[in-house]
Structure 1
Amino acid sequence: MTLLDPAQLSAALILLDRRDDVAIARGQLMPGSTLYGGHTVAGMIPPGHKVALRDIEQGEPVRRYGQIIGFASRPIRRGEHVHTQNLSMGDFERDYAFGVDAHETAAAAQPATFLGIRRADGRVATRNYIGILTSVNCSATVARAIADHFRRDIHPEALEAFPNVDGVVALTHGEGCALAAEGEPITVLRRTLAGYARHVNFYAVLIVGLGCETNQIDGLVEAEQLERGARLSTMTIQQTGGTARTVAAGIDQVRALLADANRVTREPVDARHLMVGLQCGGSDGYSGISANPALGAAVDRLVTHGGTAILSETPEIYGAEHLLTRRAASREVGEKLVARIRWWEAYCARMEANMNNNPSAGNKAGGLTTILEKSLGAVAKGGTTRLVETYEYAQPVRARGLVFMDTPGYDPVSATGQVAGGANLICFTTGRGSAYGCAPSPSLKLGTNSALWRRQEEDIDLNCGRILDGEQSVDETGAAIFELMLATASGQRTKSELHGYGQNEFVPWHLGAVM
């Protein structure tokens, strides 16, 4: 195959690798538009979508990023739109080559800092909340009522004297009963709740239950070795005497904590105290070109300063996992990642689904065709440093550097696991648009294209579309993202925080049967 020089392509197209069979449209291409060498577009091609650079026979692999993104389901002619009508999934061998591309990352000469909140145990917070957690869905209304009493938009006087308290939030869920008292489902739920109960961004936590649920609070405390005290208290509606009394008791408990919670101060701390969860949602054909690699450049900077980044969404690295295993710090780390991939394949087979159910309808409208293509763009969020560890959902993250946590691709479930693992900041790339927040950890949203920025600027914190516009390089945008991470960790509010997002996005991963 003759490799094309990017200079041969018109300014209307983006070629990512000389081995690629397709290029990406910068804007809408009209039928008859000239591509290169006198070749023309065969039909209308939307922004972010793919156009064939050569004739491709049925069954042949199609490459983007120099990697296979699918196979031609019928003959494709040069200049044609390449998408769901002519590109499909197929099996092929991937060389995991454990660790061959892993390299040590030199520490930054001058450590970056942010203004963090140092807790008594030495951990550093980026926010200072009081949390209300629930053991079961039955106590969700009571938990919300307690937190609502302190909402600044409803009762501004409640926290007026406590400016250093970021808020009181209720994180409720739909589980906790009608599941087995032992086994993976309740273990994962308890691990998730415990991760939030211990989270550094909570000054204190109150856990509210009903009293008769399967997920007994005493069982949760014992299984996760939580310690009740001034910073962790519990109550049940049945024992306290009903809804009104439990709400009143909860309000009294929170009110008693406010003065001490307000005494925190921010001080300069090393960026090694940052643990950033990496997310992408509402992805489009530009995600793997602008926002994701720019976030990857920011992650590389974070790692040089001793910080941690959590790459997740296992169904959205499927087909690109070999790029991560090649960077694994050890064969064991890489094999743990492959084991999670195999678990997902078996899970989908058992549920009569397949991994290519992802991309979503919005992803496809934005130009992504197969999960292979989506995954190759998604892994770019992880930058280029070594993969130092692989974790299961909501496990505490202890390692420093780039790690992987097994989660679903659904953003609220995925980010919930990352925060339970210790993430004190979320960075979320989007091409179609997102309105997401994540209490108690602030969530930065990074747009992939300038059209999205102009349309939904009130929800997007930074426009990575300047890369596509030729105004900024990937590395320059990565530097801007890293600076925004530090500013946000120092207390600067994100767009989602200003809108009040965060309470409804707590969604633990539901596993197993509902009885």
Structure 2
Amino acid sequence: MNAPPATPARPLCIKLHPSDNVAIVVNSGGLKAGARLEDGLVLVDAVPQGHKVALADIPKGGAVIRYGETIGYATLPLGKGAWVNEFLVELPEPPPLASLPLATNVPAPLPPLEGYSFQGYRNADGSVGTRNILGISTSVHCVAGVVDHVVALIKQRLLPKYPHVDDVVGLNHLYGCGVAINAPAAIVPIRTVQNLTLNPNFGGEILVIGLGCEKLQPERLMPELSPEAARRNILSLQDERFTGFQAMVSGILEMAEARLELLNRRRRETCPAADLVVGLQCGGSDAFSGVTANPAVGYAADLIVRAGGTVMFSEVTEVRDAVHLLTPRVVDEAVGKALIREMAWYDDYLARGSTDRSANPSPGNKKGGLSNIVEKALGSIVKSGTSPIQAVLAPGERATTKGLIFAATPASDFVCGTQQLASGMTLQVFTTGRGTPYGLAAAPVIKVATRRDLAARWHDLMDLDAGRIATGEASIEEVGWELFRLILEVASGKKPWSDVWGLHNALAVFNPAPVT
């Protein structure tokens, strides 16, 4: 259990950059009007925890600066010591994509980090899983109820006979029929569902359950299979050999047991940290995200890259307003153009839905002190660390490059997690300030709390307390190393809290194509 939150005995605010004209309140419960900071500044308003206080007089229309960047413009004159809340900050224009610098400040490679390993499951294609799971995919949502029924039976009847298999997971989704299957944007959900079956945590022994009449035929999910292999791995419920529901169930159980026998022969073996594929995500973010948890995750991300591993960060809308800080870091202009391509695609996607980036952040984000998407994005991209960006993936594409990768996904927790699984992520690190019981059945999720208050209150849901950085009890580097070691432990089989309690969210395949 985490220690109780360390509430500073004195009023405490954090200013991140010398040019900032706002700081955030650290104290649990916030600060009352009249509180005096160490530099003599007196608060003229009560300011909640995580919210901003003006460090200088800001005129109407004046820039509100945090992270050394303009996060908006004051809608009213703001006096020194005033509470700077979301209603007082006007959203600025996003960075123009056409004029962004590309590969103009590529970071030098960091020193190699050698000697770190984990106990993983090596696959025939050279990839390494952190879990040994029987995955049962679906070609259409019509069969989801049957798969859920069968998964429960497998766990009850079969799984105890195969102790070296960690779990059986049904990969249900809402795609497959009633959709414009040949629409250009349909490539996103189709390749997502295809690549989910290739995730290293399934060991190449995936089953596909279809109905038979769907637009997305089961064979399309595993195009590399021979006809003989397809008969072993694909089952359609409308097959005329089945008379009654129990016959369908028996057919699936027979196929599943054959796969379980093969998976049960596998054993964990020592694998270099270079075989890690770690996804990064944040949900329920607050103003501390960019101060504590995300910088610590960024430090750990650099360690993984230094060890030769792969790290993917995502969430287009939480990158878009800080993309000008990322395009100089890409390894070459081609990667930079791919990053701009994904930003432009999403701009157009939002416009076609008659919305824009102002739909993010959420009410909880705002309650946690984030005024707008610009402030949120500046704190979000810190997860990427300082390594050069080696590649950019379109939604659902599979990673083929090591190092730091941007995998384009929506910011939605469930959609981002699903898309990262399709891209080959085998372990995810998830930062949160407001708190969420989020988890994935197909890959372990390490949850990092941004605040001591949250880590103590949710002591059996949060895996790591990064709030110690804000209170001065630990440095970014110390928590980063702690997270890196925890990643190796979880990759080797240690269960994070979401797996201890079996808290797993449903898959949510991103489908920008029309539904007919």
**TM-score w.r.t. structure 2 length?**
0.93
2:515 paired residue number: 514
Match of 2:355, SS state, is: coil
Q: CA RMSD in A?
A: 1.8
Q: How many residues align?
A: 499
Cα deviation, residue 220, structure 1: 3.5
Match of 2:278, SS state, is: strand
Cα deviation, residue 120, structure 1: 2.6
Picking from 89, 98, 101, the partner of 1:97 is: 101
Match of 2:194, SS state, is: helix
Contact 1:142-1:243 within 8 A present in 2 as well: no
Contact 1:450-1:463 within 8 A present in 2 as well: yes
2:133 paired residue number: 129
* Deviation digits for residues 211-266 of structure 1 (CA, Å, limit 9, x no counterpart): 111111133334xx455638971111111535332222111211222232111111
One-letter identity of the residue aligned with 2:64: V
* Structure of greater relative contact order (alpha carbons < 8 Å, 6+ residues apart): 2
Cα deviation, residue 326, structure 1: 1.3
* Deviation digits for residues 456-481 of structure 1 (CA, Å, limit 9, x no counterpart): 12111111111112111001100000
1:7 paired residue number: none
Contact 1:436-1:505 within 8 A present in 2 as well: no
1:214 paired residue number: 215
- Within a 5 Å distance, the mapping from 1:217-366 to structure 2 comes to 217-222=218-223, 225-226=224-225, 229=229, 233-239=233-239, 241=242, 242-366=244-368
One-letter identity of the residue aligned with 1:67: E
Contact 1:123-1:273 within 8 A present in 2 as well: yes
Distance 1:37 1:414 in 2: 42
* Deviation digits for residues 91-132 of structure 1 (CA, Å, limit 9, x no counterpart): 265673222221232452523111111123322111000011
Distance 1:82 1:411 in 2: 28
- Within a 5 Å distance, the mapping from 1:352-501 to structure 2 comes to 352-501=354-503
Picking from 108, 116, 119, the partner of 2:120 is: 116
Match of 2:73, SS state, is: strand
Distance 2:221 2:368 in 1: 43
2:4 paired residue number: none
Cα deviation, residue 209, structure 1: 1.1
Cα deviation, residue 417, structure 1: 0.9
One-letter identity of the residue aligned with 2:164: N
One-letter identity of the residue aligned with 2:387: T
Cα deviation, residue 205, structure 1: 1.1
One-letter identity of the residue aligned with 1:280: C
Cα deviation, residue 384, structure 1: 0.3
- C-alpha change, 1:314 and 1:109, in structure 2 (3 Å) is closer
Distance 1:140 1:36 in 2: 59
- C-alpha change, 1:501 and 1:37, in structure 2 (3 Å) is closer
Distance 1:78 1:69 in 2: 18
One-letter identity of the residue aligned with 1:12: L
**TM-score w.r.t. structure 1 length?**
0.93
Shifted more, 126-135 versus 55-64: the winner is 55-64
One-letter identity of the residue aligned with 1:233: N
Picking from 45, 48, 59, the partner of 1:46 is: 48
- C-alpha change, 1:345 and 1:458, in structure 2 (3 Å) is same
Cα deviation, residue 439, structure 1: 2.5
- C-alpha change, 1:114 and 1:176, in structure 2 (3 Å) is same
What fraction of aligned residue pairs are identical, expressed as a percent?
37
Match of 2:338, SS state, is: helix
* Deviation digits for residues 281-309 of structure 1 (CA, Å, limit 9, x no counterpart): 00011000000000000000000000010
- C-alpha change, 1:227 and 1:270, in structure 2 (3 Å) is farther
Gaps of 5+ in 1: 1-9
Gaps of 5+ in 2: 1-9
2:13 paired residue number: 13
Shifted more, 93-102 versus 171-180: the winner is 93-102
Match of 1:70, SS state, is: strand
Distance 1:387 1:218 in 2: 35
Distance 2:320 2:312 in 1: 16
Cα deviation, residue 343, structure 1: 1.7
Cα deviation, residue 37, structure 1: 5.0
1:162 paired to 2:162 = yes
Cα deviation, residue 407, structure 1: 0.6
One-letter identity of the residue aligned with 1:20: D
